A = this chain, B = another copy of it.
Amino acid sequence: MEAAPNASNFLQRHQDYLGEFVYGGIDGSVTTFAVVAGSVGAGLDSSVILILGFANLLADGFSMSVGAYLSAKSEAHNYNKHKNVEYWEIENMPEEEREEVREIYRQKGFEGPLLEQVVDILTTDKDRWVDVMMKEELFMMEQRRSPLAIGAVTYVAFILVGFIPLALYLYDYFFPFAGDLFWTTCALTCLGFATVGGLKSYVTETSIWKGVLETLALGALAAGVAYLVGDVLERIIVG
């Protein structure tokens, strides 16, 4: 497989954050579609859909994006905590830490006097020494993505894709819609799922069809659950 340096367009440059876009987008539309499907399953009024759909869209979008931001910040914090531990260990038990470096480079194929020279050089500079320990002992990599950007991308995707299941109900509130509101909304939402899934596959250079079908199946199953729960609970509680 080969990298495609010429395809370094907008999507390629932003693929670091594409996971968040896909994740946030799917969650947004499932959240609002769950309100739509649950309400329709339970035979509730479409004013309920608009009220609770938007309440959920804004509250959940806020919560998910701030959650993603905090989670990324906490990961960075955790990295720094372990880094400080390594600095402490190098300061207070240098021989044990030297032996760890020795073992790591022994496994890379070094031995004898060359191994000792390599260990000497790597342990001369404390920053480089800690860098070896972080990557090779703890398998930890510094997060190079911005927690703020992670939160922002999640928010935009959530609101944007999450608006789709509500769009027709909002339109219908102002200009009565001639077709079947629920099934047209289902079709629009499927289109949204498929677009997000396809986008993901395009950028990660995997099979477009697999991405589209995977996302569609996920969304359809989640929506089906919401419809069924709404329908069954309506019979039990109201019916």
Q: CA A26 – CA B34 in complex, angstroms? A: 18
Count A interface residues, CB 8 Å: 84
Q: Is the CB of A60 within 8 A of B27?
A: yes
Q: Is the CB of A237 within 8 A of B173?
A: yes
**A52 interfacial by beta-carbon distance below 8 Å:** yes
The smallest C-beta distance from A3 to any residue of chain B, in angstroms, reads 5
**A38 interfacial by beta-carbon distance below 8 Å:** yes
Q: Is the CB of B109 within 8 A of A52?
A: no
Residues on the B chain within 8 Å of A109, using CB: 121-122, 124-125, 128
Q: Is the CB of B1 within 8 A of A58?
A: no
Residues on the B chain within 8 Å of A223, using CB: 59
Q: How many copies of this chain?
A: 2
Residues on the B chain within 8 Å of A37, using CB: 55, 59
Q: Which chain B residue shows the least CB distance to A69?
A: B218
Among A1-54, those with CB < 8 Å from B are 1-3, 19, 22-23, 26-27, 30-31, 33-35, 37-39, 41-42, 44, 47-48, 50-52, 54
The smallest C-beta distance from A15 to any residue of chain B, in angstroms, reads 9
A225 in contact with B1 given A75-B19, A77-B206, A237-B47 (CB within 8 Å) = no
12 CB < 8 A contacts A-B: A19-B71, A27-B63, A27-B67, A35-B35, A35-B55, A50-B233, A50-B237, A51-B233, A51-B237, A109-B121, A109-B122, A114-B118
Q: Mark A residues whose CB is within 8 Å of B.
A: 1-3, 19, 22-23, 26-27, 30-31, 33-35, 37-39, 41-42, 44, 47-48, 50-52, 54-56, 58-60, 62-64, 66-68, 70-71, 74-75, 77-78, 81, 84-85, 88, 108-110, 114, 117-118, 121-122, 124-125, 128, 135-136, 139-142, 144, 173, 200, 204-206, 214, 218-219, 221-223, 225-227, 229-230, 233-234, 237-238
